[in-house]
């Protein structure tokens, strides 16, 4: 029966009472011995023994009281199966015809609906719900919550919620908390928020926490923050909701600020808090804050989830020494631990070590999964290990039972493309077992730009735009490829098309952490409060690296300008500004850590190498794909990136 009909069913009359005796009291002096034994088994188990008594009860014309049956249902959910649940249902309803006898309580019916929902049998739950002669807020909330949590049935949950209101049943805090998870649009969320305020449940901590989650789901950080700031009292659940929302939405700075406020308010963090803050630290490369979080993790000595998050944070902050030390101390490691370490080493330019860890995993760790193999192929790709990559890709199904997926194929296109084997990459794409998506074509386009193949770049860009007509990144990459080749007419044609569409290139941005504060720099932007000192520091650095052989690589300026103008543009690239600021505030023995939103250009790469040599300083730059560790004039990528 369609859900829209189910939610408007008129309550049916109950059938004539059964002649069987129905004991709704629990007086031990009058209860039948069978019922006493049954009640005890329902409360303490074992389940099988309790179920075995059901035929005896039926033969004796006895039925257990609602409390005992409710306990049996809970026991069944914990230790039984759906078949066991249906057996209980038949006992309660005297043959399972869907209509409850008069001696059966609403309490038991609600428990059965909940049982079916927890077993994932939503249609059974709805049939039972439909046949209930009476429904209360618990009945409706159970169904609404089950539908809201089920994949693909959120709209149905909303329809049931509306039917509940039309039936004159007032939602409670649990109803609203559940239905908020089913919001499909900001407009629906706004309407529900208004209803919550109208019935006076906006002060409930549980409801507010769900409201925050709902706003965060739509990326409305301001809306979630308003709900949070309006709260008079807050508990750890609410703090975790707002911190997780900011971290998951990419606002790491906001997440960390809220975490510090939470600590000042006297709340102790738990696993959920720490996982969110570690995510924020990972996104911002804020190693010092991450280390403070590590101190909180120490009390969760055997928490595998937190330890894996810590390894990921250290790897993505470029601190492999910390990651390796933590990995070695872990009392147990799962496939995520090993995979994170392999990927982390590969992203930091230590591909050979990543493959060695993979060999260790094969001999002493868990069976690799598809994520492990992505890390292995990434390691091969970023070290130019074409033969190794082919071997691992070709053997992963035979050795580990892992069928190549799109991510693995994308790694292979990247491997071949970086190695300059563009024709082989195209051949590989056409021979895949599935249609290439825009990600794979974008990987090929990036390789075409790297190796300055304009014809193939145009082909890859055309395929991307066929799949995603609004993808402006493809047009930008294509125009940059033309500019690399000094094909200014073709480049101008692409640029004009983008201007006509209102597309603007994202400027280069770099971030650096100093004293728990993140400083951002934009290419050519000298608005930072310390700009005067930064310009002076840059001038001194240019003087010293020039003595070591640095010359501006103006071919990385993708504009048709005079040489002097190109040099001026190169001078104030965001990573150079960040390096100068880092050198001004450098601490003995600590590397300079920088995060960048775009791939580092060749000129800045050469500059960073020579600065690391002239200043005797380790510089770590993370771009969207990998890390570059500069030390003594050498980069961990071996100039292969």
Distance CA 394, CA 544 (A): 49
**Which residues is 512 bridged to in the sheet?**
519, 594
Six-digit token string for 83 = 């078949």
Residue 17 scores a pLDDT above 60: no
pLDDT tens digits, residue range 105-141? 788 899 999 999 999 999 999 999 998 888 999 999 9
Distance CA 615, CA 371 (A): 39
First to last CA, the chain: 59
Chain mean position to CA 90: 43
From residue 35, give the alpha-carbon distance in Å to each of 39, 46, 49, 157, 511: 6, 16, 13, 39, 70
pLDDT tens digits, residue range 417-475? 999 999 999 999 999 988 999 999 989 988 988 888 888 888 888 888 888 887 777 77
Contact (Cβ atoms closer than 8 angstroms) between residue 438 and residue 471: yes
Confidence of residue 178 (pLDDT cuts 50, 70, 90): very high
**From the CA atom positions of the chain, what is the Rg in Å?**
32
From residue 137, give the alpha-carbon distance in Å to each of 123, 161, 168, 320, 601: 20, 11, 10, 54, 62
Mean of per-residue pLDDT scores for the chain: 84
Q: What is 136-188 written as a DSSP string?
A: -HHHHHHHHHHHHHSTT-HHHHHHHHHHHHHTTPPP-HHHHHHHGGG--SHHH
For the segment 182-195, the average pLDDT, to the nearest whole number, is 91
pLDDT tens digits, residue range 391-407? 999 999 999 999 999 99
What integer pLDDT is reported at residue 97 of this predicted model? 38
What integer pLDDT is reported at residue 564 of this predicted model? 66
Ramachandran area for residue 589 (φ above 0: left; ψ -120 to 50: alpha; else beta): left
From residue 16, give the alpha-carbon distance in Å to each of 10, 64, 103: 19, 19, 10
Q: What is 464-478 written as a DSSP string?
A: HHHH-TT-HHHHHHH
Residue with tokens 């804020």: 286
pLDDT tens digits, residue range 277-296? 998 888 776 787 888 888 88
CA triple 54-57-59, angle to 5 deg:
110
Element (H, E) at 615: helix 602-615
Domain borders along the chain are: 509-635
What integer pLDDT is reported at residue 359 of this predicted model? 95
What integer pLDDT is reported at residue 559 of this predicted model? 58
For the segment 260-274, the average pLDDT, to the nearest whole number, is 89
Three-state DSSP class for 279?
Answer: helix
**Which residues is 513 bridged to in the sheet?**
518
């Amino acid at each position: 029966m369609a859900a829209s009909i189910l939610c408007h069913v008129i309550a049916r009359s109950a059938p004539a009472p059964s002649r069987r005796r129905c004991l709704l009291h629990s007086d031990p002096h009058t209860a039948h011995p069978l019922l006493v034994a049954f009640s005890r088994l329902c409360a303490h188990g074992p389940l099988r023994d309790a179920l075995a008594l059901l035929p005896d009860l039926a033969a004796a014309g006895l039925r257990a009281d609602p409390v005992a049956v409710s306990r049996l249902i809970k026991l069944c959910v914990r230790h039984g199966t759906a078949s066991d649940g249906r057996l209980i249902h038949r006992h309660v309803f005297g043959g399972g015809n869907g209509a409850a006898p008069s001696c059966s309580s609403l309490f038991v019916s609600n428990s059965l609906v909940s049982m079916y929902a927890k077993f994932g049998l939503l249609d059974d739950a709805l049939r039972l719900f439909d046949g209930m002669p009476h429904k209360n807020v618990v009945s409706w909330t159970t169904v609404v919550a089950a539908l809201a949590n089920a994949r693909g049935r959120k709209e149905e949950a909303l329809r049931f919620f509306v039917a509940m209101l039309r039936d004159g049943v007032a939602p409670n805090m649990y109803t609203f908390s559940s239905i908020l998870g089913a919001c499909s649009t900001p407009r629906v969320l706004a309407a529900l928020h208004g209803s919550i305020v109208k019935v006076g449940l906006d002060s409930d901590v549980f409801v507010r926490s769900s409201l925050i989650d709902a706003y965060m789901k739509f990326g409305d950080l301001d809306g979630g923050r308003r709900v949070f700031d309006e709260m008079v009292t807050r508990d750890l659940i609410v703090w975790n909701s707002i911190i997780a929302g900011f971290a998951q939405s990419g606002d790491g700075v906001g997440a960390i600020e809220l975490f510090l406020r939470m600590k000042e308010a006297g709340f102790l963090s738990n696993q959920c808090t720490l996982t969110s803050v570690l995510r924020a630290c990972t996104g911002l490369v804020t190693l010092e804050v991450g280390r403070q979080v590590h101190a909180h993790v120490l009390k969760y000595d055997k928490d595998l989830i937190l330890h894996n998050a810590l390894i990921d944070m250290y790897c993505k902050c470029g601190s492999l020494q910390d990651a390796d030390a933590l990995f070695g101390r872990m009392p147990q490691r799962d496939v995520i631990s090993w995979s994170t370490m392999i990927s982390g080493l590969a992203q930091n330019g230590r591909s050979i070590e990543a493959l060695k860890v993979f060999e260790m995993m094969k001999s002493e760790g868990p069976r690799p999964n598809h994520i492990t193999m992505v890390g292995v192929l990434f390691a091969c790709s970023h070290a130019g290990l074409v033969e190794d990559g082919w071997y691992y890709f070709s053997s992963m199904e035979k050795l580990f039972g892992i069928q190549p997926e799109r991510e693995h194929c994308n790694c292979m296109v990247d491997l071949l493309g970086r190695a300059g084997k563009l024709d082989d990459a195209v051949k590989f794409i056409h021979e895949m077992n599935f249609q290439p998506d825009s990600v794979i074509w974008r990987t090929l386009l990036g390789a075409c730009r790297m190796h300055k193949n304009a014809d193939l770049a145009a082909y890859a860009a055309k395929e991307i735009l066929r799949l995603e007509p609004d993808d402006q990144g493809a047009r930008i990459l294509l125009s940059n490829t033309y500019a690399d080749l000094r094909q200014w007419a073709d480049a101008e044609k692409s640029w004009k098309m983008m201007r006509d569409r209102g597309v603007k290139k994202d400027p280069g941005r770099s971030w650096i952490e100093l004293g728990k504060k993140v400083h951002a720099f934009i290419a050519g932007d000298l608005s930072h409060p310390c700009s005067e000192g930064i310009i002076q520091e840059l001038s001194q650095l240019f003087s010293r690296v020039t003595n070591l052989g640095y010359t501006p690589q103006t071919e990385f300026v993708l504009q048709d300008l005079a040489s002097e103008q190109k040099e001026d543009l190169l001078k104030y690239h965001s990573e150079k500004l960040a390096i100068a600021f880092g050198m001004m505030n450098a601490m003995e023995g600590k590397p300079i850590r920088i995060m960048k939103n775009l791939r580092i250009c060749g000129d800045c790469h050469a500059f960073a190498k020579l600065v690391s040599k002239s200043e005797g300083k380790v510089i770590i730059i993370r771009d969207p794909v990998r890390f570059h560790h500069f030390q003594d004039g050498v980069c961990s990528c071996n100039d292969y990136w």
